[in-house]
Structure formats: structure tokens, C-alpha cells
Structure 1
Amino acid sequence: MNCHEFKNWLLDKDLLGREAATCAKQHVDTCDRCRKLLALDQEVENSIRATLAKVEPPDRLRAAVDQNIKYAERSPFFRRVPWKTLAPALAAAVFFFVLLNPFAAHIDSVDDLAALAVTNHLSGDLTMAVKAGETADMSHWFEQRLGFSVRPPGMENEGLRFIGGRLCKLGPVKVAYFFYDKGEQRVSVFGLSSKEVRFDLESQKHVRKTIQGCEVDIWRDGDLIYAMVI
């Protein structure tokens, strides 16, 4: 290995194998200039590590990442990739392409939908893009952004007051997120097209589940699927 090759190795050393590292070590043993360059590189890395604070991610972020990873692993493309033969950086790039790939947008089961809805509900993000009364046609507002018409379901008989909504993602699927309140209690309702799920649900049939202390109610209304979390 010469000086030019060593500098290239220094740029990509985390991606190259043990053999290249051995050659680099042999080179710095005989080259004072490259030895100083390596020492400087290590000093910069140590300084960065010392400067950056280690922050523990919140549980809701872990839950969301775990849920998305589960969907990525189910992708047929993910299962076909020979991960062990890929360089680490390339493997990571391919993995996150699958993880974030919008073309794999489906929810496989009622259980998955319930878990994703609870994860978003517990995230505590109360940001609203549109509030009740700000637009005369709420379904049109969402249709312009989602490509299908979805309206906040009328829940007045259950003591729920609609207060606003926004877009969000349940795993790989972009959905409508409606905010309701019931006294001091916050209620989340997610609306999505039935085309975005891979399970059958009879119209007006309710499926109820309890996850992480939250009550989840899932039902179908025409071409729409709703998931309510309390």
C-alpha cells in the first residue's frame, strides 16, 4: 500500500475488510507522514465521540422503529437479498430503502393495525394540520392529500367531540389522523382506505382489542377502515 492508497483507505476504513487494515498498518509502520495522518484522524474521531452526548431514545420511538422493521422484514424483496454478501454500508442502504419504501404500503392484519394505531396514539404528538371548523369540507381536505375521500366519523352519540386532524403514517401506510376529546380524555381515530390492508373485515363489524392499556376499536365503513384508540 502506498500513500495514495492509504489516504483512500482512511476515508473508507469502516467499510473495508481486515486485509486492507493490515496493509494500512504495515504502511504506517514505515511512513511517518501517514502515521501522523492516522493519529490526527483518530484524534478527531475521539473528539467527536467525547463531544456528542449519548441520549436514550424514548420508548415510543423504539416501538415505532420495531414496528416498521417488522414490516420491512416481511417484504419479499427483503427476504431475497443476500445480506451476508453485502458490504455493511450497502446492506444498511438496502435495508432502509425497504423500510421506507412507499410502494410496500400495506397493513397485513387487524393486530398490526391495532398495534400501529396505539403506537401513534401514545406518541403524544398532538400537532393538528387542520382544526374543526376551519374547512367546510373536511373529507375534501384529506382527499387532496391522500388520494381518497375520508371523513371524521360522527362520534357525538358516544360523547366524543371532533377537534381536528392531520396526516400520519401507520407503518408504511399514510392515513388520516382525527383528534377527538371526551372530557379530559384524548381519543385518536385513524382512517385509511381498505385497499391499504391485506385482511378482510365485514362492513360495520367491530373488532376490539386492548394493547398497552389502550382500548382499540376497529371497524369498516364502506371502502374505509377506521381504528379508534382510547
Structure 2
Amino acid sequence: MDCDTAKSKLFPYVDGELATELRDQVEAHLARCGACRRLVDFEVAFRETYVDRLRPDPAPERVREQVATLLPDLVHGQRAGRTQRWLKRLALGVGAALLVAIGLSAGVALQSHLGTRTTLAELTDAAVEQHQKLVRDLLPPDIKDVSPKAAEEWFRKRLAFNVSLPDLKTEGLRLLGGRISHLREVEVAALEYQVDGNNVSLFIIPEEAYRQLRLKDKPRFKVVSHRGYDVVIWRSQGAGYTLVSEIGDRACLVCHAPHEKLEPLPRPSAHL
């Protein structure tokens, strides 16, 4: 079984819906493929954290009482007359439609979130992998030893989306260089910084690619812990940003001066 096939079976595998033979094939693939295993672990962690919150509330008591009252009448024919039968059917239809609407809305919301998880997990994994390559000089910079504004102009001439870098004069912060790179086949601006001697990578992605993640507006900063790295994802000024480091909140000096009042970062929403 290859990765594409395994990923197509991810949700039914987590739901326990696969036949024994197919489940064994998926588990054999997961045993030798760390990337797919991490996707499964992330999906399980996400469901444990969020799925219960998305379960629909029961239908209002009044609606359930009306449906319960109408059903016996329809079964036993206790009410006569075409008009009354029509009204009962209409009431039953409205009640049933309401129940279906509640279920569908919750189902759509749940499926939307479950569909988002794999995309977010893959983006996070790709960002961490790129960060490691930048730190180890496996991805040489296209530009180095330039100011943030000079780097901004360089990227804007080569990328078809807004690249905005604050020109911060912060002690302990240094822009090492940048390059055009890719996260999951999405062309991005990749920048490498040092904050108090610690390597921090910032990836700027097109807003369209960020919107495809279908993340909620709040909290503004989405934090994921992956392979021992803190990954922060947010949107600003017509682009998406992904920050990778091992120093938590301190990495935010890349985009904000120390005196700025920042929205507190939440705890990691999931671990990969």
C-alpha cells in the first residue's frame, strides 16, 4: 500500500470502519511510514480535543414533543379529514426537516474540520522539515546579509503575492537570509532568523493557500507542537505566516517589537 492509498483510508481507519484485511494493510503501511503515522496521530489528537465540542445539541424539546404527538395519530388514523391530515404531514415534515437541518449543519462543520486537519498537518510537517534543512544549510539562501526591506523588495519582484517584513531594530534579532521555497507544492518566501542565537524560520504563503486551510479567525495565532518544534500559523496583510522554532513565544520577536502588546499565544492545539 502506498501513501496516497493509506491517506484515502485515514478517516475510516480512525473510525474503525475498515474490514480486517484492509485495516491490516493500513497498519502495515503505518508501521513503516512515519509521515502517515503522524497524520493518524494528529487526527486522533484533534478528535480527542475538538470533536466532542462539535457534536450537535439535541432538537428542542418543543419540536420533539410535537413530533411524538403527531406520529401516533398518523399511524392509527385517529384524526380524520384531508385538511387535518395535510396539516399533520406539514407539521411532521417541518419537524423532520428541522432535525435533518441540525444534523446536516453539524455534519458539514465536522467534515470541514476533519478535512482541514490533514492539510494543516501536512503544512506543519513541511514547515518543520524546511526549517531543519535551512538550519543545516541543506537549502542555501538566495539572499543573505540584507536588511528586511531589501529582502522584502527581492521577494516582491519574484513572487505573485504580498511579502511584508517589519524592519525591527531589536537586540538579539538577526535576519540571516532568505530564499524561495515550497511547502506542499506551494511557493513561499522562506526566511531564516536568529533570536538570541536560536534559529527561527518564517514562511510567508499566499493568502489563497492559507484560506484553503479553512482555519477560524480566532484565536488569531494557531499553535501546533511537532517534533519538538513550536509552529505558529496566522494571517496578516494579505498573506499567511508560519513560524517554526524551539523557543516558544520568544520567536515572535521576528514579527513584533518587544514593547508591542501581543495577543497571548494559546497552548498548542495539537501534538504531532
TM bucket by the smaller chain?
0.3 to 0.5
In the superposition, the TM-score normalised over structure 1's length comes to: 0.48
